[in-house]
Chains A and B, each alone.
Chain A
């Protein structure tokens, strides 16, 4: 998003290389015995090292889910931290098997860069955080006319901000900084009333403020940043495994299958649950995909369902406390929807 020039350069180079990845990824992965997973160099709730140096977060857990589907063991995954500049090359050159690195799904990346995005594990977008003490009673971004807004310069965030305020005929005074750390410090010191960046980032920043309780993240999202894992183009089998791992996580949540009850659920009377968990006689759902028939059981045992993954890493069970919002299941008014597993 912020590295358009590099993206174009990379696209030109990668266009030549797109045919390089030909060997079946599933076979190479099985041969080496683990999945190489590209993650970020550190983003709270998505992929960040804990005290023991283990990667934690939604993106890291997604790779564990794929490892569980392929090997029946969620620990058979190795993580490669990648900078924003390196990430596409690393996937294209075969250095990693999955890129699970808070990457926005765009048409350019799906086509010119030779990637295949498998889905949206987190619907992100640019949001606003306000100091509720300075702006009492504000509960919508549309009430922000005349506010001083802290923003990082030279980013799409800055442009989106200008567009949004112009479109809604509101005035604002931008307080612009080069570095993210400077923006944080300025907002913390009260030099502006509003902070804007990707909404998932706002929750992480709020934790580092002097008085987090005074600050509120507004519900509006003014840009689309669908974040999801990607694989190389040209390997449909691997693409399907990763894609259906994502859907299986959603399906498990929809059916109420959790890490705790997955073994009981195997004996559930519901034919749908039985089918998803591979308990039907003569089922070929898993083997047709290229994994074992109890793949969904393995996934849920390793990381839980999507909702558990969300709560543990970014939601109510984590310090970030991000609301599900549009990341809720479609049955609860969100956008997360899985095609049927049958």
Chain B
């Protein structure tokens, strides 16, 4: 062995020294973020004071004093208000949400048929969750099941009228069922349609280009409320008596076309961000138009506009509340409708119901937003921006 002839080389990295106390750890974090300057310190103290003032009251109202179950308004009203609670009591009336929960979920869907929307919900979750987890294999099959098989099965189950299932009119649908089915169809239709419209708008063929521009600009130029209002108030006058377009179908078409027009512009933004060299490179490889778009341009363009796409989705999810204009009751609509039930009219009912609705909306929107951030990070392979 000739080890003594070799100069000494360290075989492994030296262990990192802990950062000096002044720049890491809790103390440093506090110093940097909370009390860096006089202004910061004042803001921090004011902030803490605000939280201390508000938070106990909120917790008190929403949890400690809240009523969770009860037969009717007496559970959520003080003695002076005609109920059972002691004088001066205020608390959330979750009993109202509890009693109306079925309605908030599926509207006035007949109670003995409610297993149908529940089954659809289970199928939806069972197909959506593996779709969202990148590691789960067979994405192609999963997508076909989710976007083609599920809508057909859901249609048969929810509408009925075949295979021995009683027919349930869409006018009885409501609540989260309406919100989710409108958004799911809207999302599933608007993304592909939006991509096609965006490509059409950048096409060199004049007729296709003109048609796409006219569609996008017309739809973007009219408020959704106007379209829904027209579809429900004016359309029946032009149809023969007794012939009526299903209201829910009108809303579905309106919302989908709307989202598609907005989506088209989002996707076009992505297309414009792709350097000309990418198109030319694809051309020089001899790829056809669709190959070029599918293999080279779209993967890059769509990745760039994920925030815009998800933004449109979230906007659409919340816009579904506008179907109240045509007397369809989405989650918010059915919650507000139930405020009119005199058996539950108390000072706390409206607050509790609205907070419940807000929480459900937040849950879905926050979920979508976090998932989009996750996807962005996962796809961010080429360049950090």
Contact with B81, one of A44, A92, A211 (Cβ below 8 angstroms): A211
0/1 per residue, B315-339, Cβ < 8 Å to A? 0000000001111010000001111
Contacts of A49 in B (CB 8 A): 103, 108, 337-338, 341
Complex: A23 Cα to B240 Cα, angstroms: 12
Q: Which residues 76-98 in A have Cβ within 8 Å of B in the complex?
A: 78, 80-83, 85-86, 89-90, 92-95
Contacts of B342 in A (CB 8 A): 44-45, 48, 204, 207, 318-320
Q: Which residues 86-145 in B have Cβ within 8 Å of A in the complex?
A: 99-100, 102-103, 107-109, 111
A162 within 8 Å of B (CB atoms): no
Q: Which residues 233-267 in B have Cβ within 8 Å of A in the complex?
A: 233-234, 236-237, 239, 241-242, 244
Task: Return B371 CB to nearest CB of chain A, in Å.
Answer: 33
A222 within 8 Å of B (CB atoms): no
The residue on A at minimum CB distance from B102 is: A53
Interface pair B341/A48, CB less than 8 Å apart: yes
A188 within 8 Å of B (CB atoms): yes
A108 within 8 Å of B (CB atoms): no
Contacts of B339 in A (CB 8 A): 42
A51 within 8 Å of B (CB atoms): yes
Complex: A137 Cα to B73 Cα, angstroms: 30
Complex: A98 Cα to B239 Cα, angstroms: 20
Contact with B244, one of A20, A95, A181, A213 (Cβ below 8 angstroms): A95
A209 within 8 Å of B (CB atoms): yes
Interface pair B327/A86, CB less than 8 Å apart: yes
Interface pair B232/A53, CB less than 8 Å apart: no
Complex: A95 Cα to B239 Cα, angstroms: 11
0/1 per residue, B65-87, Cβ < 8 Å to A? 00000000100000011100000
B347 within 8 Å of A (CB atoms): yes
Contacts of A155 in B (CB 8 A): none
Interface pair B80/A211, CB less than 8 Å apart: yes
0/1 per residue, A209-221, Cβ < 8 Å to B? 1111110000000
Interface pair A81/B233, CB less than 8 Å apart: no
B340 within 8 Å of A (CB atoms): yes
Interface pair A80/B171, CB less than 8 Å apart: yes
Interface pair B242/A94, CB less than 8 Å apart: yes
Known: A42-B337, A45-B342, A93-B237. A209 touches B242 (CB 8 A): no
Task: Return B61 CB to nearest CB of chain A, in Å.
Answer: 14
A111 within 8 Å of B (CB atoms): no
Known: A85-B229, A212-B82. A51 touches B100 (CB 8 A): yes
Complex: A155 Cα to B12 Cα, angstroms: 82
The residue on B at minimum CB distance from A210 is: B347
B349 within 8 Å of A (CB atoms): yes
Interface pair B347/A188, CB less than 8 Å apart: yes
A8 within 8 Å of B (CB atoms): no
Interface pair B81/A210, CB less than 8 Å apart: yes
Complex: A42 Cα to B324 Cα, angstroms: 12
The residue on A at minimum CB distance from B325 is: A83
Contact with B233, one of A44, A80, A85, A318 (Cβ below 8 angstroms): A85
A148 within 8 Å of B (CB atoms): no
Known: A83-B325, A208-B345. A90 touches B236 (CB 8 A): yes
Interface pair B340/A42, CB less than 8 Å apart: yes
Contact with B237, one of A51, A89, A181, A211 (Cβ below 8 angstroms): A89
A147 within 8 Å of B (CB atoms): no
0/1 per residue, A91-112, Cβ < 8 Å to B? 0111100000000000000000
Interface pair A52/B111, CB less than 8 Å apart: yes
B350 within 8 Å of A (CB atoms): yes
Contact with B346, one of A81, A82, A207 (Cβ below 8 angstroms): A207
Q: Which residues 213-262 in A have Cβ within 8 Å of B in the complex?
A: 213-214
Task: Return A77 CB to nearest CB of chain B, in Å.
Answer: 13
A323 within 8 Å of B (CB atoms): no
Complex: A83 Cα to B247 Cα, angstroms: 14
Interface pair B340/A44, CB less than 8 Å apart: yes
A132 within 8 Å of B (CB atoms): no
Interface size of A by Cβ–Cβ distance < 8 Å?
A: 46
Contacts of B73 in A (CB 8 A): 207, 319
Contacts of A83 in B (CB 8 A): 324-327
Interface pair A81/B327, CB less than 8 Å apart: yes
Task: Return B246 CB to nearest CB of chain A, in Å.
Answer: 12
B343 within 8 Å of A (CB atoms): yes
Interface pair B341/A89, CB less than 8 Å apart: no
Q: Which residues 144-203 in A have Cβ within 8 Å of B in the complex?
A: 181, 188
Known: A81-B327, A86-B327, A89-B233. A48 touches B81 (CB 8 A): no
Interface pair B80/A213, CB less than 8 Å apart: yes
Interface pair B82/A13, CB less than 8 Å apart: no
A21 within 8 Å of B (CB atoms): yes
Task: Return A189 CB to nearest CB of chain B, in Å.
Answer: 11
0/1 per residue, B217-237, Cβ < 8 Å to A? 000000000000100111011
Contacts of A13 in B (CB 8 A): 234, 237
Contact with A212, one of B80, B338, B341 (Cβ below 8 angstroms): B80
Contacts of A93 in B (CB 8 A): 236-237, 239, 241, 244
Known: A48-B341, A86-B326, A319-B82. A208 touches B232 (CB 8 A): no
A41 within 8 Å of B (CB atoms): yes
Task: Return B100 CB to nearest CB of chain A, in Å.
Answer: 6
Contacts of A95 in B (CB 8 A): 236, 244
Task: Return B114 CB to nearest CB of chain A, in Å.
Answer: 10
Complex: A213 Cα to B79 Cα, angstroms: 10
Task: Return A318 CB to nearest CB of chain B, in Å.
Answer: 6
Contacts of B329 in A (CB 8 A): 41, 81
8 more contacts with CB within 8 A, not counting A56-B341, A80-B327, A85-B233, are A48-B340, A49-B108, A51-B103, A52-B111, A53-B111, A89-B233, A93-B237, A213-B82
Q: What are 11 inter-chain pairs, A to B, with CB distance below 8 A?
A: A14-B237, A41-B327, A42-B336, A44-B340, A45-B342, A49-B103, A50-B341, A81-B329, A86-B232, A95-B236, A207-B81
Interface residues of A (CB under 8 A from B): 13-14, 17, 20-21, 23, 28, 41-45, 48-53, 56, 78, 80-83, 85-86, 89-90, 92-95, 181, 188, 204, 207-214, 318-320
Interface residues of B (CB under 8 A from A): 73, 80-82, 99-100, 102-103, 107-109, 111, 169, 171, 229, 232-234, 236-237, 239, 241-242, 244, 324-327, 329, 336-343, 345-347, 349-350
Nearest 3 Cβ contacts at the A-B interface: A42-B340, A207-B345, A53-B108
